[in-house]
Amino acid sequence: DSPAAVITIDGPTASGKGTVAHRVAKALGWAVLDSGALYRLTALAALNQGVAAEDEAGVARVAETLDVRFEGPHVYLKGVDVGHEIRREEVGNFASRIAAFPGVRHALLERQRAFRLPPGLVADGRDMGTVVFPDASLKVFLVADVVARAERRRKQLIEKGISANLQDLLRDMRERDARDTERATAPLAPAADAHVLDSSDLTIAETVQAILDFWNKAQAQA
Ligand code: CDP
Ligand code: CDP
């Protein structure tokens, strides 16, 4: 049996991966894997257990023993719904630091692959097309100008009632981009066979359509 179809959507923070992945999955009737949530869950579990971000072996152990459950839009850590908590900036920053550890990435590998079930999966993250699903049916690398991304993030925060300064967001985003692209293990980079899609001037709907067009074209050729 050939494995279920996978569409991978990788890219930097706030390029729109999560939003677009959910819509593409909905259009196709497929499941979605938010791989960043696994790194955020590991970060939150480490924070809760008082394991420091520098403690590579300790954080890897946390990843290996992670007790998580995904249920629709909900995500549970040890039975507690932490969907909102993992979105905190502190958790995201911790996540981006521990994501550099090979032991952490290794511990999360099979958990991610387990999401691949018929009829198909849309997986978003940093290394979905390069490491986790190298045989994916379609690979997209979603980029957008850093200023456009910072503005999107600011709007997102304002909608949640959180004020945010564009300069601070830009600085944080550049730091996060540097950490994600410069790490030795699974750095953020397009797979050789990825379609690089720049969404700086695209709406969400246009971005989703572009990906569905890639998919339909690939299907027609298969
Ligand atoms: O929302 P944002 O794009 O900032 O982050 P996320 O996708 O929730 O991921 C949080 C952190 O986990 C990122 O900064 C990455 O460093 C890391 N990550 C990763 O290394 N590999 C993945 N496949 C997904 C996330
Ligand atoms: O998952 P990732 O961090 O890549 O980004 P996201 O959380 O899906 O998107 C960040 C924000 O940008 C969300 O508020 C999206 O609605 C918005 N967005 C946009 O305005 N235009 C796009 N083409 C894509 C996303």
22-38: pLDDT as tens digits: 999 999 999 999 999 99
Which residue range(s) make up the domain with 122? 5-205
CA of 220 to the centre of ligand 1 (A): 33
Widest Cα–Cα separation across the chain: 52
- Whether 67 is covered by a domain: the verdict is yes
CA of 148 to the centre of ligand 2 (A): 10
The CATH number given to whatever domain includes residue 169 is 3.40.50.300
Give pLDDT, residue 72. 82
Q: Is 29 buried (19+), middle (13-18) or exposed (0-12) by CB count in 10 A?
A: exposed
Ligand lying closest to the C-alpha of residue 92: 1
ipTM > 0.90 (yes/no) = yes
Helix ranges, the chain (H) = 17-28, 35-49, 56-64, 89-98, 102-113, 146-159, 166-182, 204-221
- Indicate if the pLDDT at residue 222 is higher than 90: no
- Whether 217 is covered by a domain: the verdict is no
- Whether 93 is covered by a domain: the verdict is yes
What integer best gives the mean pLDDT of the chain?
Answer: 95
Q: How many structural domains comprise the chain?
A: 1
- Whether 194 is covered by a domain: the verdict is yes
Confidence of residue 7 (pLDDT cuts 50, 70, 90): very high
48 lines ligand 2 (CB under 6 A): no
96 lines ligand 1 (CB under 6 A): yes
Q: Which of 9, 19, 32 to mutate to test the pocket of ligand 2 (most atoms within 8 A of CB)?
A: 19
- Whether 213 is covered by a domain: the verdict is no
149 lines ligand 2 (CB under 6 A): no
- Whether 92 is covered by a domain: the verdict is yes
- Whether 37 is covered by a domain: the verdict is yes
Give pLDDT, residue 65. 96
Give pLDDT, residue 190. 96
- Indicate if the pLDDT at residue 221 is higher than 80: yes
- Whether 220 is covered by a domain: the verdict is no
95 lines ligand 1 (CB under 6 A): yes
Confidence of residue 171 (pLDDT cuts 50, 70, 90): very high
Average pLDDT over residues 78-86: 96
Average pLDDT over residues 42-57: 98
Ligand lying closest to the C-alpha of residue 131: 1
Which of 162, 164, 147 has its CA nearest to residue 200? 147
Give pLDDT, residue 2. 84
